Structure 1
Amino acid sequence: MDCDNSNKGSYAWKSLCQARHVIELGSVWRVGDGQSIQIRRDRWLPKTSCSRIVSPLSVLPLESRVCDLINAETHTWKVDLVKQVFIPQEASIILGIPLSFQGAADKQVWLPTPQGTFSTRSAYKLLSGVSRQVLPSCSSLDRNHLMWNSIWNLQVPHKVKHMIWRATHNALPSLYNLWRRNVVRSVLCPSCKSDSEDIVHVLWSCVSLIPIWESNEVTTKLLKYKFFLFADLWEMLLKMKERLDVNLMAMIFWFI
């Protein structure tokens, strides 16, 4: 995967080199003995959205491998170590990965298919999904237009409108966004110290904010929903504007 795309290679080799980014998008390591997998660098979590670890490795060296998390005698995870090193969400995923009692070697598999084998159909679906996230469709443009109008019509200071707009576009400097740009090494929320600090977490789902939302009947009901993007949360708040003061919500987000 690290080979250069040489002009002297065959047509087949050049085609493979050009398709490397597709393989990198969908391939992950299937954990065997953990000897070949670097905890921080490699993709080994069984999920397509973020297969790399984001937890800060404060206990283990940066070059540690997955085998350091496995008891070599019992072929089981070192549960206490995993819970100590990783944020709860990632620790739960890791402890749910089955391990081989025979100590089989690690293997790279194709995550988009249940069998773990590559197919052009699954690769096309994977690329289509990525394209939909990057390229705006008519529906997404309409949604952005409605989103902007809802923010522009708020009866709040302009700086608050600007902050809400940035939050809906995932443009606030959360620790997770800074980590993606190699600005910080840890994404662990400094308030709750139990989850990664993305925009939804810092403005809505952090346990330190629960008392605020539980003071209102509508926001209390919303706590049972899982929002991955702030834009989804804001859209839900707009749907409930007859029962909820969105201007007040915007000001609360600002003061948080």
Structure 2
Amino acid sequence: MNKYQWKTFWKLNIPHKATEIWWRALVGKLSTKARLHHINPARYPSPLCSYCGDYEDDRHLIVLCKRKVQFWRAAFYSLQTQVIQGHDLWEILMFRKKVNTSIMVMIGKILLIVWQHHWQTSLEDLPWRTDHALKRLASSLQMEGYNKN
């Protein structure tokens, strides 16, 4: 990323934890199954996604897992905004596709919920539930005083 993109990133009005997760994605340091398996195969015997069985790299963990695709689509729909999916969403997250700052802020807030719900369900060995993730998003936005209109 260039200097301007980094400045834009650090100025985004998103929760600190969302900034941390997004930064880890930008520098290729997310705790994916593939990365954990590579570092410690005894503790993480498989590089495959717990939800769909595909190879879990950074892009898969955040946007390409079938369960996460459903959630991103539903989150954009519930926020009454254009649905951004898969490859385009990843390109925006990586600052390779430009969108306005308000869309980036929304993406950052949704990203945080993806991360939180992913790890809560993974650690508790529960299935991914898009409806639960949407409730978490709504609650988070309500606490911030977010208004769709």
TM-score, normalization: structure 2? 0.59
Tell me the CA shift for residue 144 of structure 1. 4.3
Greater fraction strand: 1
Which residue number in structure 1 is paired with residue 84 of structure 2? 219
Mapping for residues 25-104 of structure 1, pairs under 5 Å: none
Could you say which residue in structure 2 is the equivalent of 1:43?
A: none
Structure 1 counterpart of 2:7, which letter? N
User: How do 1:106-255 and structure 2 match up within 5 A?
Assistant: 143-183=1-41, 184-193=44-53, 195-214=54-73, 215=77, 216-220=81-85, 223=86, 225=87, 233-236=93-96, 239-241=98-100, 245-255=103-113
Deviation at 1:149, TM superposition (A): 1.5
User: Quick one: distance in 1 between partners of 2:93 and 2:16?
Assistant: 21
Counterparts of 1:232 and 1:157, CA distance in 2: 18
State the distance in 2 between where 1:160 and 1:253 align: 7
Question: Is the CA contact 1:167–1:231 (under 8 Å) kept in the aligned structure 2?
Answer: no
Query: Could you give the per-residue CA deviations for residues 24-63 of structure 1, whole angstroms, max 9, x where no partner exists?
Result: xxxxxxxxxxxxxxxxxxxxxxxxxxxxxxxxxxxxxxxx
Q: Is the 8 A contact 1:187 1:196 kept in 2?
A: yes
Answer whether contact 1:176 1:187 (CA < 8 A) is retained. yes
> Could you tell me how far apart the structure 2 residues matched to 1:155 and 1:181 are?
33
Evaluate the alpha carbon distance shift between residue 179 and residue 145 of structure 1 in structure 2; reply closer, same or farther with a 3 A threshold.
Answer: farther
1:169 CA displacement: 0.6
Pick the structure with greater CA Rg: 1
User: TM-score when scaled to structure 1?
Assistant: 0.37
Distance in 2 between the 1:170 and 1:210 partners? Answer: 20
Greater share of helix: 2
- The Cα shift of 1:178 comes to 1.1
2:62–2:111: 8 Å Cα contact kept in structure 1?
A: yes
Q: Which amino acid aligns with 1:149?
A: K
Task: Name stretches of at least 5 consecutive residues in structure 2 with no aligned partner.
Answer: 115-149
Change (3 A) 1:210 1:232: closer
Q: How much is the aligned-residue C-alpha RMSD, in angstroms?
A: 2.6
Relative contact order, CA 8 A, sep 6+: which one is greater? 2
Matches of 1:176 and 1:206, distance apart in 2: 14
